[in-house]
Structure 1
């Protein structure tokens, strides 16, 4: 394996997701394995501009594989969106002798990495870290599996209350542009309906569906709603509409919010992060750049960053059909 690079850096950017720490650990220990110095960049691109670097070795990442969030912190950098900010960041990495960068984040973070590469011919590699699973070129992003488990656990608890009081619960989950979390957790949680941005169920059809559930003998219902669903302006408008058009339903709303991002990563996410970290570092050592590491057919594959940013993930049509059948 060519080994032209002697110093690498790793940063986490954008929204945090479970598994980021495990990925940082994998990057650092892969560098140690290959005799490469590794620097952690604190606060994402903001820290890169400020030269907030800390050398890391195999021992400095002990005990973090099971921790949520990111020990390197994360920040959204307005300065890095400017030419001046990126030039300052380049001078900082140049002065530190850093010759390559691993970016753990989402499409916004990858866009910054790609522009940085284009302007300064600086080697970069991306690892997809976002619970929404909305990055093209990988079947799973870091944190998606953990978020699913967190949401299902919450739905199970809410269903206990719904059943006890014969209530209808609207449960909002994350997914501004895609419904991967809602669709998967809705099926796993036994939801009567699942509302996602990709499928416009319509308010009248929703009421008809809930009426059928009541007629079939169901005394309580769960409706999982992706935050980007287009049926109503928001989940509270949905509640008001059902209140007005469906008699004898005690309707409640639960917005799970940022709790979905937290918590210890699942076994799947820990293994995925480890595989991605190794692949990212070794790809840079092989002279590759501006790629994202992804999981496709259970293999680590590289997707050009431009494709990962511009490509669109598709909802699983089989899961939609399964959802329709299970809600009968």
Structure 2
């Protein structure tokens, strides 16, 4: 994984200086991913975890894809090279994050569901159980919100295809870095505030709801074994979201809305869709309101930092 930075096009000699400007987003993205990759290797070597061969092969293939992107850009094919670079970074982030969350969960700190519920009540006057019980009386609403909640990855693919087709490569790179930074912060915070989520904490089965997405229940199949030490093999079966606080789904809604804002034809429909995804996060994903707020704060901080780093103007 140490080749991640080299393949990204960073200088081979001299001190590592993160220069501001359009290319800074890609460079910093590879630095974060390289650090994450080294952390995963360290967990495998000293933490008792074993990375499956097919996972290692996938990681190396994605690093190679990033290298191809750098080489293609160097030949002047900026849009194609940027597409390969962004695809490699996002896929690597999507692979490394769940694997590292398993490692982080092994710290096995106490669940914080009661604390998160108390914060909801104290800060926002929000009663998760009451809100979800009310939502469950509207089966059609819950089914629609289930589809909206599940639209995250489809939105991500569509956004990048359209940004690159429109020649908005700088915005695509800025979005990619904000996505990676937010995901990294989410994984770093998660082990300090582990939680089951509302449905599991209150013992509500999926069959007793109108929720069509099983994410709020299935994550415990990974979280439990990761916490008690019985999950040590990092395989494809380990690739599942196990983070409750902060909510990356909420952060992703904010990031996607910002990304689509650079496409005038779609900015308002995308904003409406992602506001709906925010609303779906507690009732479909089982997140507490404080999870949602924390995710929004992380996304805002990441976008602000990336805009300063890349000198991107506030207006699209």
TM-score, with structure 1 as normaliser: 0.21
TM-score, with structure 2 as normaliser: 0.22
Bigger-Rg structure (1/2): 1
Higher strand share: 1
Higher helix share: 2
